[in-house]
Amino acid sequence: MKALSVPLATLFAVTVWQGIVTVTGLPKFILPGPALVAETWWDNRALIAEHTLVTALEVVIGLAIGTALGVATALQLASSRTARVLVQPILVFTQALPVFALAPILTLWLGFGLWSKVFMAVLIIYFPVTSSFFDGLMRTPQGYLDLARTMQASSKRILWHIRIPAALPSLASGLRLAAVYAPIGAVIGEWVGASRGLGYLMLLANGRAKTDLMFAAMLTLGVFAVVLHVAMVWLTRGLLSRSEESPQNGGFV
C-alpha cells in the first residue's frame, strides 16, 4: 500500500489541477493544464536538462560545503563552552536575516557565476545541520557518559566513540532537511542574478508569459528536490545503523 501512495497522490493532484483548469476556464498564460505542461516539458527537455544540471551542481556543492561546516561547528560548540557563549548568539542572529536580502550582496561580492548560488545554498542549510547535530551531541544518554568516566576515558575518546555515534540520528535528520532546503538557496541566488539554472529559466519564462514552461521548470525542480531527499534518506541509513551499534561496543578507553 505504501508503494502505491506516491502514484495515487500524484494522480489525485493532477486530476484536481486539470479539474480547476476545466471548470474555471482560465487562460493558459494564467494556469496551464497538466497536459500542456507535460507537452512543453517534452518539447523543451534538452533546455530544461541543461539548466537542471547547473542547479544540481550548485546544490550538491553547497550541500557538501554546508554539511562539512555545520558538522565542524557543532563539534566545536559541543567541545568548548567559550565557543557556545561566543558563536551561538551569532548563529541565531544570522537566521533572523532574510535570505532574499543577502542574495544581492552575495551576487555583488561573488559575481553572477556558480559560487554566489553555492554560498546561498550553504547559508540555508548550515544552521539546520549545525543545530540538529549540536542538539544530538548535547543529549548523549547520561548512562554512557557515566560508564565512560568510570572507565577513565578521555574527553576526546568520549566525544568520538560515544557522543558522536549517539548524535548521528540527529545529524541524519538535519541532513534530510538540508537536502530539501538546498535547492531553495540555489534558486534564490539564480533569481537575483544568473544566466543559467532552473531559477533563471523560470524567470525567463515568466517574463515572456510562457507560464507552461515556467511550470515545467518548477516541477522539474520539485522532482529533483524529492530525488535528492530520497538519496539523503538512503545515505543516512548507514549513519543510523552505526549509531545503534557504536555506543554499546565499548573501545573508548
Q: Give the mean model confidence (pLDDT) for residues 203-214.
A: 92
Nearest by Cα to 130 from 204, 200, 77? 77
In the chain, the number of structural domains is 1
Report the chain's mean pLDDT, rounded to a whole number.
85
41 vs 150, more confident:
41
The upper half-sphere exposure of residue 112, i.e. CA atoms within 13 Å in the direction of its Cβ, equals 9
Residue 60 to residue 121: CA distance in whole angstroms: 9
For residues 30-48, give the mean pLDDT: 93
| In-domain check, residue 8 | no
What is the domain extent for residue 110? 33-247
CATH number at residue 163: 1.10.3720.10
Which tens digit of pLDDT belongs to each residue from 158-178?
778 888 888 888 999 999 999
The DSSP code sequence of 11-80 is: HHHHHHHHHHHHHH---TTTS--HHHHHHHHHHTHHHHHHHHHHHHHHHHHHHHHHHHHHHHHHHHHHH-
Statement: residue 5 has pLDDT above 70 = no
Selection from 64, 40, 23 nearest residue 209 by Cα: 40
Structure confidence by residue, pLDDT tens digits, 125-136: 998 899 999 999
**Residue 230 falls within a domain, yes or no?**
yes
Residue with cell 543577502: 102
Per-residue pLDDT at 6 exceeds 80: no
Q: How confident is the model at residue 250 (pLDDT cuts 50, 70, 90)?
A: very low
How far, in Å, CA of 200 to CA of 190, rounded?
Answer: 5
Least-confidence region, from 24-33, 125-134, 139-148: 139-148
Cα–Cα distance for residue pair 253/245, rounded to 1 Å: 17
Has residue 20 been placed in a domain?
no
- Which helix (H) or strand (E) segment holds residue 250: the answer is none
- Domain membership of residue 18 (yes or no) is no
Rounded Cα distance, 135 and 84, in Å: 12
Residue 27 lies in a domain: no
**How far, in Å, CA of 221 to CA of 201, rounded?**
11
Judged against a pLDDT cut of 50, whether residue 252 lies above it is answered with: no
Least confident of 7-11, 183-187, 246-250: 246-250
Side chain identity, residue 239: L
Say which amino acid occupies 110: L
pTM of the predicted model over 0.75: yes
Those residues with Cβ within 8 angstroms of residue 129's Cβ, 6 or more apart along the chain or in another chain: 66, 67, 70, 71, 74, 171, 174, 175, 178
> Would residue 26 count as lying in a domain?
no
- Kindly state whether residue 5 falls inside one of the protein's structural domains: no
User: What does the alpha-carbon distance between residue 121 and residue 207 come to, in Å, rounded to a whole number?
Assistant: 25
Residue 87, pLDDT above cutoff 90: no
Note whether residue 43 is domain-resident.
yes
